[in-house]
Structure 1
Amino acid sequence: MMTAEFWVAVAFVVFMAIVWKVGGFGAMTKGLDGRAKRVRHELDEARRLREEAAAVLADYKRRQTEAEREAEAIVASAREEAERIAAEGHKRLDDFIARRTKAAETKIAQAEVQAAAQVRAAAAEAAVKVSETILRERMQGDAAQNLVRSSLGEVRNRLAR
């Protein structure tokens, strides 16, 4: 009975009785409860922060997706606008070329008409001069001169048409 283990057990029981009498168990449980409350509060706070972070991440991903869609829309719109402007430029160029071609063809036609008129006028003038020379050589007198003048005037008028 007088062994060391026995006295250790007695001392432990006495110590526990004193702790219980003084209210040490209540203080320990109160401390442990306070710590548990603090840990529970910290866990709740961590859960709330994690949920906020998840919400912020989801919002960021949503905004990123919207920004990507908007960027794609802007690029598509710019591409369509560039294609429209290019088509409009080609149309304007084609219209310009068509107008220039038509103007050139009109000028060519006018030049042909003018050249033909000049050739006819030159031919008429040459024919009149030849006729006048032939008639003067063959016919003599005032009557011949009047006939030559009236005939030449009539030839000029007919050839000039």
Structure 2
Amino acid sequence: MGKNFIGLDTEKTAALASSLNDLLANYQIFYMNVRGYHWNIKGENFFLLHEKFEELYNDLLLKVDEIAERVLTLGHRPAHAFSTYIETAEVPERKDVSNGKEAVENIVESFGKLIAKQRELLELAGEAGDEGTSALMSDYISGQEKDVWMYRSYLGQ
């Protein structure tokens, strides 16, 4: 059982990096979806949602970078082609969404997929003794659980 340069088991970090790349693909598709919602939103809630979507896509972009850098920290290469993202992601690509309610429903659905993947990564990271990935996933989950509550409240759910 070999160790990598930060003292973690190389087999376990390979599995973590693979899961992080899967998460990265989902974040990239989600990010592009939210950019599209921001650009195309119409209707009475335009000003509110246009601003909220910009806030969200800026946060997603930061997380994309953090996830890719975590893959590199573990000694692996982050996925970096949109063809890979589309093949890998469970978050579906959304096109031409201009209805606010539909966009917010898609956001809630996407967060559900991300949170589930992050919970799996949290467990894998714990088994590998990878506190860096654990902390990252824990932070993402706690913030996104609140986001889901707020978006669901907007939908009246």
Q: TM-score, normalised by structure 2?
A: 0.29
Q: Which has the higher helix share?
A: 1
TM-score, L = length of structure 1: 0.29
Structure of higher RCO (CA pairs closer than 8 Å, 6+ residues apart): 2
Higher alpha-carbon Rg: 1
